[in-house]
A and B are shown apart, each in its own frame.
Chain A
Amino acid sequence: MREVNVADITAAIAELSMDANYNLGDDVYKAFYDALEKETSPTGKNVLEQLITNANIAKEEQVPMCQDTGYAVIFVELGQDVHLVGGDLNEAIFEGVRKGYGDGYLRKSICEPITRANTKDNTPAIIHVDVVPGDKVKLTIAPKGGGSENMSAVKMLKPSDGAKGVVDFVVDVASKAGSNPCPPIILGVGIGGTFEKVAYLAKKALLRELGSSNPDPFYAAMEKEILEKVNKLGIGPQGFGGRTTALAVHIEVFPAHIASFPAAVNINCHAARHKEVTI
């Protein structure tokens, strides 16, 4: 048994909250430059150039790339040989969010759903814990903006809908979202599992390195097909028209019940923020 003090988790979460909001990943930068080469719309090119400049300013000045610094979604891979000491894991994570969003001048965007009263410290966080072999704790933060989350969808398809059913559903969600989720977007797609599992898969898919393929060639081909179809929609950067509507499509799959065929699309804006650390 290895002991890990939850105070170390608090410190790590505070640091990751700021890091994720200030420093855009190299994979997203690369996707911007690739898109800039392919984009034919002058307005679309202008938007992509603004996004690159914006990411540079955020990094240099250590300020948030987007004012919507998101709901703090935290993935914990907890080694089963770890003994957590010093307090409650959930509270330690909340304290890290409180500190990171406070010290880092990040926006506090969490509220009671009906009264809309702000919790004022961006807590609670959404926490997903996975117990895994080993004696390490891996923490990933993915701050999630509201604009793109609002355009996401879950659908219980019929097994007879098959692969085409999933492709049509994802393209339809992207089409209806139009300019709202700040395109160019990234599409996290979940296929299979249950009602709640499929949404989790779609969210998890967004953590993959941008543009990496599903290891299964069948699903890798489906990712490519969806990306091509979405980019034929013409929505373009910020919806002004253009070839770059999506930067990537990532699919994650889990076996389904014989009667069910769930599918989910979690849309991320171009500010595809996620950072991780292993303690």
Chain B
Amino acid sequence: MTMKKINTPLSDDDVMKLKAGDTVLITGVIFTGRDAAHKKLVDLVNAGEPLPVDFTGQLIYYVGPSPAKPGKVIGSAGPTTSGRMDAYKPTLMEHGLKGSIGKGSRNQAVKDALIKHKGLYLASTGGAAALLAKTIKKAEVVAYPELGPEAIYRLEVEDFPATVVNDAYGNDIYEEGRKEYEITG
């Protein structure tokens, strides 16, 4: 199967070239964030305060890695369920975020925000955490160190594999893929 190579940060053009179902290899910087970090970020936005990270054109990876063994850049680092971040994603997209990487389906508000702000929702393989960690070349905490595995990390990745689930045209590979392979009766 063909893989499209993309580099972060993403431009509107980069986003519009991708369709749901495309498999991509991501190179560049991605940021991590889970429930607790998202809540803090959106609380800052609501209070009119600046964000600790410039998310313009960037992707957030929903991950809470396991601790790094000595000599390793990071521990195992697969995606967590994205639905828990649905409440926060549209707000962050208003502040420049281009998309996110996780696993599992998103709500309509997120899908609408992807169309409005030209964004993407991608999934990496849930449970392939040891394999995905191999594509992470550098990891440093850039915000909320007190959250431990839930802190915001700046990751440098090379050929990080992911599949576009929701594109900026309103397509959803979870719905389309399921329809294609469903056997009724």
Residues of A within 8 A of B178 (CB): 178, 233-236, 239, 241
How near does chain B come to A195, taking the closest CB pair, in angstroms? 26
Interface status of A50 (Cβ within 8 A of chain B): yes
**Residues of B contacting A67 with CB < 8 Å?**
63-66, 75-78, 129, 149
Contact residues of A: prevailing secondary structure: loop
Instruction: Tell me whether B52 is interfacial, beta carbon within 8 Å.
Output: no
Given the known interface contacts A41-B181, A63-B76, A239-B178, the answer about A271 and B127 at a Cβ–Cβ threshold of 8 Å is yes
| A242 & B63 in contact (Cβ 8 Å cutoff) | no
Given contacts A236-B177, A242-B177, contact A57 B130 (CB under 8 A): yes
Query: Which residues of chain A have C-beta atoms less than 8 A from B47's C-beta?
Result: none
Given known pairs A58-B76, A67-B65, A240-B174, the reply for A180 and B81 (CB within 8 Å) is yes
| Chain A residues packing against B (C-beta within 8 Å) | 40-43, 46-47, 50-51, 53-54, 57-58, 61, 63-69, 105-109, 116, 118, 146-147, 150, 178-180, 182, 232-236, 238-243, 269-271
A238 contact from B67, B103, B134, Cβ within 8 A: B103
Known contacts A179-B105, A179-B174, A239-B104; A147 and B76 CB within 8 A of each other: no
Residues of B with Cβ closer than 8 Å to A? 1, 21, 23, 36, 63-69, 72, 75-78, 80-81, 83, 103-105, 123, 125-134, 148-149, 161, 163, 173-174, 176-184
| A residues near B104, Cβ cutoff 8 Å | 147, 178-180, 239
Given contacts A47-B125, A63-B69, A66-B127, contact A41 B75 (CB under 8 A): no
Q: Are A233 and B182 in contact (CB under 8 A)?
A: yes
CB-based contact A234/B180 at 8 Å: yes
Q: A241-B178, A241-B181 are in contact. List 12 more A-B contacts (CB 8 A).
A: A54-B131, A63-B130, A67-B63, A67-B64, A107-B66, A118-B148, A147-B80, A179-B123, A182-B103, A233-B178, A234-B183, A241-B180
Bound together, the chains give a CA A54 to CA B132 distance in angstroms of 8
